[in-house]
């Protein structure tokens, strides 16, 4: 009995009677070793639900792994579902819904993500898609995954024991001292506290392998088994392509952070080994610590969310500069207070809690540095009187140099 026949039998079993449960997974190897939940277009489909990582935030990750089992010279077209309706969202070749089991969610608590999938005729042998499943509110939630025919493939319930705060917030906004519409745009720290969570690319898998390729991890952390792309924080197993094909010398127990965060005379600087899309107001998230204590981002009012340009000049850069300011929500800050900052780059954008998702059009863009979120190092610095004056001036629209 060949692999295709076995997979078809597995798919028929999954489609009859009560749907199988989406398995919990801890590594990419565990996901690969699962039995196929369904077969579509000569691809085995496997599903898994994982935690995002200790330092991530109040969300889970729903993974869809697709492995090609057809003829070697096959077209390898992996089609999205046929017109999902209602609250269904696309995840690669399948669709899914998330609903509160009890009580029913209020409109302001909608936690659904929207993804699109692109049909492709390349020679990929494996593809991995991911979706962020918010887990911020207390209650029991049900994830239901359906195939192209609308029939349930697998489902799973998970319980959130209590409301979970989110440490991640929007990092940058347009510099208020710059005339609106000026390009290229300049940026400053976004003082409005808006909690956000990362999105994954809407039209591309977060990871793919061609025929004959093997995924090679750079190095595993002591005590950590396996690697799951998309998890945060990023274990030191980034593929070499995230560093322009150059492997870094990484000591055991250290992170090879793809982004370098620093502070100079004009503010914060984020450098990348590879090109980033220069839209930090949408693609850069941040979290802060005050004297070592993590700060929780509180939801902003709907009216506090700034408008974003519909038509934007999109360019790539390896360096983003953000003018210094201290955001709201850090509490009382005085000279000598130690602040720590870490940023995250998300090519898929962010998902603010305070508003629905915005449609984004980023046509003809490269996928560098990676289609999954990337972290920077943690930057710790002591606040000076000049920094405090600068932060006050920034909120008043006055420009000066706080650090030089």
56-77 mean pLDDT: 91
56 neighbors 123 (Cβ within 8 angstroms): no
The token duo for 234 is 């990023």
349-360 mean pLDDT: 52
133-155 mean pLDDT: 91
Residue, of 82 and 380, whose pLDDT is higher: 380
Percent of the chain with pLDDT over 90: 29
* Residue 222 confidence (pLDDT): 43
The token duo for 307 is 């408008």
Name residue, tokens 């902003």: 300
Strands of 149-279, DSSP E:
152-160, 169-170, 172-174, 187-189, 196-198, 207-210, 259-264, 267-277
Strongest mean pLDDT among 46-50, 239-243, 270-274 = 46-50
Percent of the chain with pLDDT over 70: 67
* Residue 121 confidence (pLDDT): 45
* Residue 324 confidence (pLDDT): 92
pLDDT band of residue 25 (cuts 50, 70, 90) is very high
Of 106-110, 127-131, 185-189, 399-403, the least confident: 106-110
Strands of 178-279, DSSP E:
187-189, 196-198, 207-210, 259-264, 267-277
338-366 mean pLDDT: 64
Q: With a cut of 60, say whether residue 238 has pLDDT above it.
A: no
* Residue 299 confidence (pLDDT): 66
* Alpha carbon distance 321, 13 (integer Å): 54
* Residue 399 confidence (pLDDT): 47
- Chain segment 265-313, per-residue pLDDT in tens: 879 999 987 778 888 988 999 999 999 999 987 765 554 555 555 556 7
Q: With a cut of 90, say whether residue 84 has pLDDT above it.
A: no
């Amino acid at each position: 009995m060949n692999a295709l026949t076995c997979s078809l039998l597995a798919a028929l079993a999954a489609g009859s009677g009560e749907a199988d449960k989406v398995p919990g997974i801890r590594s990419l190897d565990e996901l690969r070793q699962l039995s196929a939940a369904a077969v579509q277009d000569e691809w085995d489909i496997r599903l898994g639900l994982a935690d995002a990582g200790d330092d991530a935030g109040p969300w889970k990750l729903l993974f869809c792994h697709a492995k090609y089992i057809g003829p070697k010279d096959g077209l390898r077209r992996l089609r999205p579902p046929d017109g999902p309706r209602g609250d269904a969202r696309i995840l690669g070749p399948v669709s899914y819904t998330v609903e509160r089991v009890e009580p029913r969610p209020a409109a302001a608590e909608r936690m659904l993500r929207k993804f699109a999938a692109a049909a492709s005729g390349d020679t990929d042998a494996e593809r991995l898609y991911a979706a962020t499943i918010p887990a911020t509110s207390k209650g029991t939630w049900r994830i239901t995954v359906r195939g192209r025919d609308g029939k349930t493939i697998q489902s799973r319930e998970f319980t959130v024991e209590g409301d979970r705060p989110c440490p991640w917030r929007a990092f940058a906004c347009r510099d208020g001292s710059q005339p609106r519409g000026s390009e290229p745009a300049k940026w400053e720290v976004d003082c409005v506290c808006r909690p956000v969570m990362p999105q994954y690319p809407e039209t591309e898998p977060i990871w793919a392998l061609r025929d004959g390729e093997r995924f090679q991890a750079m190095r595993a952390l002591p005590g950590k088994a396996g690697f799951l792309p998309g998890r945060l924080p990023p274990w030191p197993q980034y593929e070499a392509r995230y560093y322009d094909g150059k492997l870094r010398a990484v000591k055991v127990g250290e992170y090879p952070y793809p982004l370098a965060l620093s502070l100079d005379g004009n503010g914060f600087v984020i450098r990348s080994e590879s090109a980033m899309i220069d839209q930090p107001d949408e693609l850069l998230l941040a979290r802060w610590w005050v004297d070592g204590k993590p700060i929780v981002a509180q939801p902003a009012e709907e009216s506090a969310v700034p408008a974003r340009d519909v038509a934007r000049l999109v360019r790539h850069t390896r360096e983003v500069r953000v003018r210094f300011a201290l955001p709201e929500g850090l509490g009382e800050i005085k000279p000598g207070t130690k602040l720590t900052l870490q940023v995250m780059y998300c090519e898929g954008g962010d998902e603010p809690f305070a508003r629905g998702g915005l449609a984004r059009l980023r046509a003809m863009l490269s996928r560098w540095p990676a289609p999954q979120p990337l972290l920077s190092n943690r930057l710790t610095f002591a606040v000076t009187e000049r920094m405090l004056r600068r932060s006050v001036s920034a909120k008043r629209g006055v420009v000066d140099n706080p650090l030089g």
